[in-house]
């Protein structure tokens, strides 16, 4: 009985609860239906509010969150169910009049209404959202695949400072194709994954040469989680992208830009100081960096030797090189031929990784020398990549000028004026009319080629990267199909010229900088335009028939050879416009040279053996000659017309088109004649006064007269009579404002006197001052009133009495960068009154025994200049200034 009572109570309680629940559903039906309908209307109003927010976000190409999408779907589904309950409730009333009579139906309907009311109230509680849509659903940064690289750590550090700092918003990387710009951006993109930063998103985009705005917008939209209509206008897409990115802190990498991009046209907001937005882009064209308003421009250079070697070894395997030491010589030669270009090094490394035989490596090296495009992969992976830069040039004129640079030896430092003279005489620059116009246009072209990373700047000259040279020769040979079209074997130590048969197809031949001593007897060259034989010091003569079959020859370059005479057949070169005989051993010129009526450029300078020019020859060149160089020759010009067989000064005066003259005189009367003839004087750009017969004093600039105003180089030399060289005059009509180089040498008695110059008379453009072998000079500058404002280099040599330069270089030579002192035993003090930090000077050249005996104001000043001292070799002590630069006596650059 005791155990029955609890069971009875449990059943009784359960029955009572069940009855209450059943009775509750029945009794509360009307109330629950009313509450359900009211709260469902409230839920639907809340749904409409959320839906409006979602629609607004989606119009901005934002994406509804999964949580909100589920909630909206749940509300819609629940609304349908509540509607069916309401319909069932109305049906019961219509059928029975008083639904209270149908107990079963009331119960089940009441139960459903109560359950749905609970669901409505639950969804109402969940319908409050902090945000209904997201701008992006993907990660902040997408890791991208990269190739192994070396030598990029410093560049990565620079990028890190630029991107994480607050001062710079737009950063441009530029460099030649294949140098590693793309890999650098990818590597930095991946490094941001592990760095702490406050950017919401980092996007890497490949732009490419064929700019496709639609593709870029789709790539950005994909990262931002935006959806596009297929027919949507790019401007509308840009608006949507802009709206999203404007709310974010971002970094956008734009790789391989070929032209300036207007960022808002894609949808990218222009960065400003108020937001954390960074644009980092790469390009081959420096002007793109400027036109994109890059606040920081980083040049990506080729790898130095050690890093280039490491990259190559990384590709072929270090163990292989160690185990095959006999191959190392060829391996290093191949690496050198790659010029530090990572793409070339990687390609060659992979190509050579399977090569084990010595002859395979030797063959690869010889192919690199003669026809690198025949090496597997080099054309497709390297040359085709570089060619994009060539193809991107705006005009054929630019492309021709680029190809011309390949006529020089590999890695040769090319003087700009040489190229411009060739281009002008060949007509590549068009009919410029005047030398000055051609020079201006030529420099503009060179700047464009440098800005496109097709040429490198080299201390005022230009240099062509070896892989760019390979590209140019490949293009010039019709992509390797016509190997002899451009017959270029420059700087390869040739002792004999190529076979005569190869000359027949050639349009250009460059055999410069070799050891050739003989040439073919009578090569047949119907298409030959340029023949470059300069820097062959062993070349002494031509056969009589050498020039007979070159009807199209326009450029003939024979400088720095040992040519002693020209054959009469040179007169057959009726199309010749450029003839350079600078620093040869010519004694006289053949009269047949006068037949070259189209000759524009004739250079005979630095040929002291040349003493005779046939009468009338210069006059016959009058129709076309614009540039005549006879600087540092010893021709005895006749000024009275009395010469029966030699050239007279009157012939020079008859050169109607002459725009540039370099000439040497040995007497006062000839100099006076030049000064009095305005057109000739105003064309004189280089003047050499030697011997100075009848002169005891030269006053600069008045001795030269008021008409010699264009002169940029002046040499005064070899006189035992000259007592004084005075710089400064009271004659306001005379000026040397264009003079850049002044050389004073071999004056046995002369002293140098510097006076006050008026501003319009001063040597304001003088950059190089060269004084050597003048035994009478004791001091250069005395006093404080004279200054050489732009002088960069001062060379003093073999001045046994020199005791003083000036009182303070910072005042007298404020721009001086290089000081060279040799064989000046009495010069015991240099005019430095404070530490080297207060001067622009970067190097002081001299002998150690002289430097060690110098007297200094104090030890602090001495120690500050010690790192700048560079000991000169004895072979460096003989030099001259030539053609706007300084050369050794053998013509090689200092």
DSSP letter string, 120-184? HHHHHHH---S-SEES--S-S---------SS-HHHHHHHHHHHHSSS-SEEEEE--TTSSHHHH
Same domain, 124 and 187: no
Q: Which of 490-494, 706-710, 729-733 has the highest mean pLDDT?
A: 490-494
Instruction: Report if residue 45 sits inside a domain.
Output: yes
Nearest-10 Cα torsion for 216, 218, 220, 225 = 180
Kindly state whether residue 328 falls inside one of the protein's structural domains.
yes
pLDDT for position 648: 86
The answer to whether residues 423 and 396 touch, using CB atoms and an 8 Å cutoff, is no
pLDDT band at 230 (very low <50, low <70, confident <90, very high): confident
Q: What is the mean pLDDT of residues 482-492?
A: 96
The CATH number of the domain holding residue 427 is 1.10.10.10
Q: What DSSP string runs through 76-96? A: HHHHHHHHHHHHHHHHHHHHH
| pLDDT above 70: residue 97 | no
Q: What is the CATH number of the domain that holds 333?
A: 1.10.8
User: Shortest CA distance to 824 belongs to which of 872, 863, 885?
Assistant: 872
- Binned at pLDDT 50, 70 and 90, residue 731 comes out as low
In contact, 189 and 280? CB cutoff 8 Å: no
For the chain, first and last CA: distance in Å? 127
555-572 tens-digit pLDDT: 999 999 999 999 999 999
752 part of a folded domain: no
The range of the structural domain enclosing residue 25 comes to 4-130
Residue 449 token pair = 């080629």
Name which residue leads in pLDDT, 529 or 786: 529
What's the CATH number where 294 sits?
3.40.50.300
Domain boundary, last residue among 97, 130, 163: 130
Spell out the residues 6+ positions from residue 371 whose beta carbon is closer than 8 angstroms to its own.
480, 483
Sheet of 170-174, strand order = 201-206, 250-257, 277-283, 170-174, 296-299
Q: Residue 554 CA to chain centroid, in angstroms?
A: 31
Alpha carbon distance 842, 794 (integer Å): 12
295 and 174 part of one domain:
yes
Check whether residue 191 and residue 274 sit in a common domain.
yes
Pinpoint the alpha helices (H) of 427-580: 435-451, 466-476, 500-503
Residues 295 and 157 in one domain: yes
Query: What digits encode the pLDDT tens for the residues 381-400?
Result: 999 999 999 999 999 999 99
808-834 pLDDT tens trace? 676 778 888 999 999 999 999 888 877
Which of 332, 350, 370 is where one domain is finished? 370
Confidence of residue 511 (pLDDT cuts 50, 70, 90): very high
101 in the same domain as 231: no
For residues 199 and 178, membership in a common domain is answered with yes
**Of residues 633 and 700, more confidently modeled:** 633
Is residue 249 one of the residues assigned to a domain? yes
| 186 plus 247 within the same structural domain | yes
Give me the pLDDT at residue 27, please: 55
Same domain, 336 and 290: no
Residues 452, 360, single domain; the answer is no
Query: ∠ at Cα 586 (584, 591), nearest 5°?
Result: 135
- Asked if residue 783 is part of any domain, the answer here is no
Spell out the SS3 assignment of 343-407. Answer: HHHHHHHHHHCCCCCHHHHHHHHHHHHHCHHHCCCHHHHHHHHHHHHHHCCCCHHHHHHHHHHHH
Q: Is residue 175 part of a domain?
A: yes
Question: Is 582 a domain residue?
Answer: no
pLDDT for res 694: 74
Residue 356 and residue 456 share a domain: no
Judge if 229 and 274 occupy the same domain: yes
Nearest 5°: CA angle at 670, between 674 and 882?
75
Asked whether residue 205 is assigned to any structural domain, the reply reads yes
The number of folded domains in the chain is 5
Nearest Cα residue to 536 out of 493, 592, 598? 493
**DSSP codes joined into one string, 137-154:** -S-S---------SS-HH
| pTM of the full structure | 0.81
> Mean of the pLDDT values across residues 714-741?
81
Give the residue-averaged pLDDT of 875-892: 38
213 and 231, same domain (yes or no):
yes
Whether residue 100 has a cis bond before it, omega within 30° of 0: no
Name which of 128-137, 341-350, 651-660, 688-697 the model is least confident about.
128-137
Distance CA 185, CA 461 (A): 31
The contacts of residue 445 (CB under 8 Å, 6+ apart) are 397, 398, 401, 423, 429
Domain boundary among 242, 276, 299: 299
């Amino acid at each position: 009985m005791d155990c029955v009572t609890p069971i009875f109570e449990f059943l009784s309680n359960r029955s009572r609860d069940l009855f209450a629940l059943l009775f509750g559903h029945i009794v509360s039906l009307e109330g629950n239906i009313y509450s359900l309908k009211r709260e469902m209307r409230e839920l639907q109003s809340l749904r409409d509010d959320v839906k409006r927010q979602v629609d607004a976000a989606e119009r901005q190409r934002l994406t509804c969150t999964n949580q909100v999408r589920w909630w909206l779907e749940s509300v819609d589904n629940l609304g349908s169910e509540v509607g069916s309950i309401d319909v069932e409730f109305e049906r019961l009333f219509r059928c029975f009049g008083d639904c209270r009579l149908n107990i079963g139906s009331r119960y089940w309907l009441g139960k459903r209404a109560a359950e749905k009311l609970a669901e409505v109230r639950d969804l109402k509680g969940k319908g409050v959202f902090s945000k209904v849509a997201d701008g992006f659903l993907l990660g902040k940064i997408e890791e991208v695949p990269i190739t192994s690289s070396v030598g990029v750590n410093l560049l990565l550090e620079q990028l890190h400072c630029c991107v994480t700092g607050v001062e710079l918003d737009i950063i441009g990387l530029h460099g030649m194709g294949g140098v590693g710009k793309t890999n650098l951006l990818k590597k930095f993109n991946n490094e941001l994954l592990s760095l702490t930063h406050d950017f919401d998103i980092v996007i890497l985009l490949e732009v490419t040469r064929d700019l496709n705005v639609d593709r870029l917008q789709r790539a950005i939209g994909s990262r931002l989680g935006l959806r596009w209509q297929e027919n949507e206008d790019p401007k509308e897409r840009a608006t949507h992208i802009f709206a999203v990115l404007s709310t974010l802190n971002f970094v956008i990498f734009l790789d391989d830009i070929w032209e300036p991009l207007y960022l808002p046209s894609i949808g990218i907001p222009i960065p400003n100081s108020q937001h954390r937005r960074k644009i980092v882009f790469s390009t081959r064209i420096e002007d793109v960096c400027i036109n994109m308003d890059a606040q920081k421009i980083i040049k990506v250079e080729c790898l130095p030797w050690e890093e280039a070697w490491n990259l190559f070894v990384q590709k072929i395997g270090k163990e292989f090189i160690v185990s095959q030491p006999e191959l190392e010589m060829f391996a290093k030669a191949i690496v050198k031929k790659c010029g530090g270009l990572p793409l070339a090094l990687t390609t060659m490394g992979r190509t050579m990784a399977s090569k084990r035989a010595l002859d395979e490596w030797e063959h690869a090296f010889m192919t690199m020398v003669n026809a690198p495009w025949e090496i597997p992969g080099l054309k497709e992976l390297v040359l085709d990549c570089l060619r994009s830069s060539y193809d991107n040039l705006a005009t054929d004129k630019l492309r021709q000028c680029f190809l011309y640079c390949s006529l020089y030896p590999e890695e040769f430092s090319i003087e700009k004026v040489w190229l411009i003279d060739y281009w002008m005489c060949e007509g590549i620059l068009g009919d410029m009319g005047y030398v000055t116009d051609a020079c201006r246009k030529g420099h503009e072209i060179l700047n464009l080629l440098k800005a496109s990373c097709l040429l490198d700047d080299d201390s005022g000259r230009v240099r062509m990267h070896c892989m760019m040279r390979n590209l140019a020769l490949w293009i010039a040979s019709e992509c390797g199909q016509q190997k002899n079209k451009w017959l270029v074997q420059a700087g390869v130590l040739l002792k004999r010229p190529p076979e005569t048969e190869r000359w027949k197809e050639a349009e250009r031949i460059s055999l410069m900088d070799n050891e050739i001593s003989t040439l073919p007897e009578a090569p047949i060259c119907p298409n030959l335009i340029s023949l470059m034989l300069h820097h062959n010091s062993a070349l002494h003569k031509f056969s009589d028939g050498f020039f007979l079959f070159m009807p199209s020859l326009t450029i003939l370059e024979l400088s720095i050879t040992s040519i002693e005479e020209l054959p009469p057949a040179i007169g057959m070169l009726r199309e010749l416009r450029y003839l350079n005989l600078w620093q040869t051993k010519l004694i006289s010129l053949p009269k047949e040279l006068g037949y070259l009526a189209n000759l524009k450029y004739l250079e005979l300078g630095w040929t002291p053996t040349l003493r005779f020019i046939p009468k009338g020859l210069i006059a016959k060149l009058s129709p076309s000659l614009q540039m005549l160089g006879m600087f540092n020759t010893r021709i005895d010009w006749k000024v009275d017309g009395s010469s029966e067989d030699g050239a007279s000064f009157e012939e020079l005066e008859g050169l109607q088109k002459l725009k540039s003259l370099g000439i040497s005189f040995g007497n006062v009367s000839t100099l006076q004649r030049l000064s009095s003839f305005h057109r000739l004087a105003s064309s004189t750009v280089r003047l050499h006064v030697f011997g100075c017969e009848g002169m005891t004093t030269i006053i600069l600039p008045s001795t030269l007269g008021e008409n010699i105003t264009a002169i940029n180089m002046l040499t005064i030399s070899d006189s035992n009579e000259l007592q004084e060289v005075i710089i400064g005059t009271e004659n306001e009509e005379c000026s040397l404002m264009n003079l850049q180089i002044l050389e004073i040498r071999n004056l046995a008695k002369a002293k140098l006197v510097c006076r006050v110059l008026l501003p319009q008379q001063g040597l304001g453009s003088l950059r190089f001052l060269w004084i050597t072998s003048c035994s009478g000079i004791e001091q250069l500058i005395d006093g404080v009133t004279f200054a050489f404002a732009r002088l960069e280099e001062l060379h003093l040599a073999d001045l046994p009495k020199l005791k003083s330069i000036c009182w303070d270089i910072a005042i007298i030579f404020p721009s001086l960068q290089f000081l060279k002192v040799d064989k000046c035993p009495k010069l015991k003090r240099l005019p430095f009154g404070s530490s080297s930090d207060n001067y622009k000077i970067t190097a002081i050249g001299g002998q150690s025994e002289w430097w060690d005996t110098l007297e200094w104001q104090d030890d602090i000043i001495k120690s500050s200049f010690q790192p700048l001292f560079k000991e000169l070799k004895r072979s460096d002590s003989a030099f001259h200034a030539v053609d706007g630069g300084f050369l050794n006596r053998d013509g090689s650059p200092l």
